[in-house]
Amino acid sequence: MSGPDKPKVLDEVWSDERVKSFLDLEPYDKTVQADHFVLLRAYEAMRAEDFERFVGFFVAAGRNLDATDEHGETMLDRISKHGRSGDYARALENAGAKAPAGN
């Protein structure tokens, strides 16, 4: 976190333990699929290379890459709509996520 007394940190190296810690996140709303919630939080917080490592840990843990949100969208569906998220989408696709509807 940055602020007046704390400079913004760019290119911070994330350890495997820090990346894996996202596997322990749980949604506040228990009606939300935990696997989708975890992928979303990782996508929002991680650089593409860290997200790719995370996806490997996620799959190894037996988690569902195609979990959906309340609108029936997978993370790949959501990410594919973002203009600068190609590396994130490729990480999901390479791990076996299904292509978004219409592709």
85 membership: H or E segment, kind and range = none
What are 10-64's pLDDT values in tens digits? 567 889 999 999 999 999 888 889 999 999 999 999 999 999 999 999 999 999 9
This prediction has a pTM of 0.83
pLDDT at 20: 96
